[in-house]
Structure 1
Amino acid sequence: MEITRIAIHQVDLPLKEGAYSWSTQSFAAFDSTVLIIETDSGLTGVGEICPLGPSYLPAYAEGARVGLAQIAQGLIGEDPLQIGRINQTMDALLKGHPYVKSAIDMACWDLLGKATGQPVYNLLGGLLQEEVTLFKVISRQDPAAMAGKLADYQQQGFRQFQMKVGADAGEDIERILAVSEVLQAGNVLAADANTGWKQHEAIRVVKAVRDVDIYIEQPCLSYEECLAVRRHTDHPFILDECMDDPRVLMRGFQDSAMDVVNLKVSRVGGLTRARQFRDLCATLGITMTIEDTWGGEIATAAIAHLAHSTPQGFHFQSSAFHEYHSVQIADGGPVIKDGYMVASSAPGLGVTPDIAVLGKPVAVIGR
């Protein structure tokens, strides 16, 4: 099998609730890139990369499309089923920029599943979870509004939640106290600052909410700052944005810096490296949130397949991003019910992009 053509599409993903706010940022829609790989066999593979705005991580939507166009020409004629070779070739063509490579890697896994007649979760380790536990994001608003959202989401069947904080420490203390008051017994709540607090602010917050049953997620920008906060609290601790490399993961394990790691597929370069990261976490006994920066049905399908193939004891929760959007970019996305999602059992990722929604590609590379 050979890659004959790569098409790059741009699509906006508007938010159903009008905006998504975290730390000091807010967006009404996210800019996503969908990649379609065509082969001489007639099979196609699909991938997606959707950075969470241009200043959240060192990744941005326009950069994804430029980077993909840069890499794509060097992949024409390559066998997409040789995924290790594809990743080596991408690294030779473009140093760094793992988020760019994620969409191609994802599309190759989709092709491998279709070529072998297997859902991707079978290829990533097998179906170890029949359904994937979801968490619901509570976008940053005033305390009463956030508490109201939590109450609504609990009625929808969700039991795990991530509330967005990281703006003003004093207001965030009020937010945490207000939201935690309506959390039902047995449900799980995390306060995610998305790197937004300074170290002294984070320490102030964790001391003020010391009696609240809550996880603290990525309070500060650097690993070192987060570690200092960790040493000032008994709250279970999640590291996210700074966990971008297995070497940092090993350091965190040795320092007892976290209880849970947030594994984002595109941040580490795609499903190939996410599987490596996941398996190392499981070997070390570290539980994971498995998700991505953002995306539609395609990115969510990749999340679901990776989570399905993760031992249940090491899977904390995942995101179903496509439920937040007013636009559907593909058929076959994971089915959501009662706080869980289930990926398609069809070969590959099980999703079919809607070309009418995606429109004409912004770039086409190939024969």
Structure 2
Amino acid sequence: MKITSITAWQVDLPLKEGRYSWSNGNYMDVFDSTVVAIGTDEGITGYAESCPLGSAYLPSYALGVRSGLEELAPRLIGEDPTNLGAINRLMDDSLRGHPYIKAPIDIACWDILGKVTGQPVYALLGGAAQQSVALYRAISQEDPDAMAAKIAGYRAEGYTKFQLKVGGDANEDIERIRACRAILEPTDILVADANTGWTQHEAARVVGAVRDLDVYIEQPCMSYDECLSVRRRTALPFILDEVIGDVDGLMHGFADDAMDVINLKISKVGGLTKAKLIRDLCVARRIPMTIEDTWGGDIVTATIAHLARSTPEEFCFSATDFNSYVTQPIASGAPVREDGTMTAADRPGLGIDPMSNALGSPVLSFG
């Protein structure tokens, strides 16, 4: 089997709530997503999606996905998409870094491999380790009462895990955490995610002020060393996200006892091949993961569901149904939330079919 074409579409994904806000005054109203299709000489097509969270969250941006595809795609024509190791080595040799660009190529190849073998992607990733996956809901940064009210609404939809967007003014963040914890049940999970937004002294103040609460602290500061310093000042469970982007960073975190949980974002690490490696290392070291991505719609959500379903429940801290946050469907067959959980389809590949009317005309085409 050989790759004969690579095609990309640009899709806008407006938010149901109108705006998504996180640390340092960052926000998004509409997400810019890129859908990728890889065609083959056997008539099988694989699909994927890459959707950076703006340009101020990670070293990634939407136009970068499409620019990078222009660089990579011509070099992949004629390659075997089912040889995932060779595909990833070729991408790494052809373009240093930029994992978010490589991710949709890798994921579309997994989709092809599933279709060729007649298996869902979760089976290829290790098999079904759980039937359904518990979801968290991200709560956009607002005033404390508004955030608490949103949590109450989402609890009624079945969510029991909540990621609170903090990383603003430390005094207001302390109020946000206390207000939201107060309305939750004792069994509910609350994560205070600063998205690198606090300086070290602010983070120290916040963790000290909420030390009596049942709350996880996530990515308080910009650098790994700052986060490690805060980790050593608190007994609260600790999550790292932005600073864990590859195996080297993960191993460093293991050695330093830097975290209790990580956020494993599939496009941040370069796709399912590298995400599986990180997932398996975490399982071996008994470190749970939130399995997710930077953002996206139906195809990203399906990809998350397959990796999460193949992860033992004990180590799958939570996952994300990003397609429930946006107003624009782009594929049929995508996971649908049910009582705060979702599952991956049993159909071959990712189990999705892009909607041609939602994609419009391609913006890039090779082969």
What do the CA deviations read for 1:4-39 (whole angstroms, capped 9, x no partner)? 111111001100010001112111111100001111
Aligned to 2:328: 327
| Counterpart-to-counterpart distance in 2, 1:152 and 1:305 | 27
The percent of aligned pairs where both chains have the same amino acid is 59
Q: Spell out the pairing of 1:62-211 with structure 2 (5 A cutoff).
A: 62-211=63-212
Counterpart contact for 1:98–1:268, Cα < 8 Å: yes
Tell me how far 1:116 sits from its aligned partner: 0.4
What do the CA deviations read for 1:111-159 (whole angstroms, capped 9, x no partner)? 0000000000000000011001100111111100000001111111111
Tell me how far 1:164 sits from its aligned partner: 0.3
Aligned to 2:5: 5
Tell me how far 1:297 sits from its aligned partner: 0.7
Tell me how far 1:293 sits from its aligned partner: 0.4
Q: Which amino acid letter does the alignment assign opposite residue 16 of structure 2?
A: K
Q: Report the number of matched residues.
A: 366
SS at match of 2:158: coil
Q: Spell out the pairing of 1:302-341 with structure 2 (5 A cutoff).
A: 302-341=303-342
- What's the TM-score, normalizing by structure 1? 0.99
SS at match of 2:187: coil
SS at match of 1:336: coil
Counterpart contact for 1:267–1:292, Cα < 8 Å: yes
Tell me how far 1:302 sits from its aligned partner: 0.7
Aligned to 2:20: 20
Q: Which amino acid letter does the alignment assign opposite residue 276 of structure 1?
A: L
SS at match of 2:8: strand
CA RMSD of aligned residues (A): 0.7
| Counterpart-to-counterpart distance in 2, 1:7 and 1:147 | 43
| Counterpart-to-counterpart distance in 2, 1:313 and 1:242 | 23
| Counterpart-to-counterpart distance in 1, 2:68 and 2:145 | 43
Counterpart contact for 1:102–1:266, Cα < 8 Å: yes
Aligned to 1:216: 217
| Counterpart-to-counterpart distance in 2, 1:184 and 1:67 | 46
Counterpart contact for 1:335–1:343, Cα < 8 Å: no
Would you say 1:264 and 2:265 are equivalent positions?
yes
Q: Which amino acid letter does the alignment assign opposite residue 305 of structure 1?
A: H
What do the CA deviations read for 1:57-114 (whole angstroms, capped 9, x no partner)? 0000001101011100011111101111111111121111111000000000000000
SS at match of 2:337: strand
- What's the TM-score, normalizing by structure 2? 0.99
Counterpart contact for 1:129–1:309, Cα < 8 Å: yes
Q: Which amino acid letter does the alignment assign opposite residue 325 of structure 1?
A: V
Aligned to 2:235: 234
Aligned to 1:288: 289
| Counterpart-to-counterpart distance in 1, 2:166 and 2:356 | 37
Unaligned runs of 5+ in 2: none
Would you say 1:350 and 2:351 are equivalent positions?
yes
Unaligned runs of 5+ in 1: none
SS at match of 1:335: coil
What do the CA deviations read for 1:290-325 (whole angstroms, capped 9, x no partner)? 101001110111111001111111110000100001
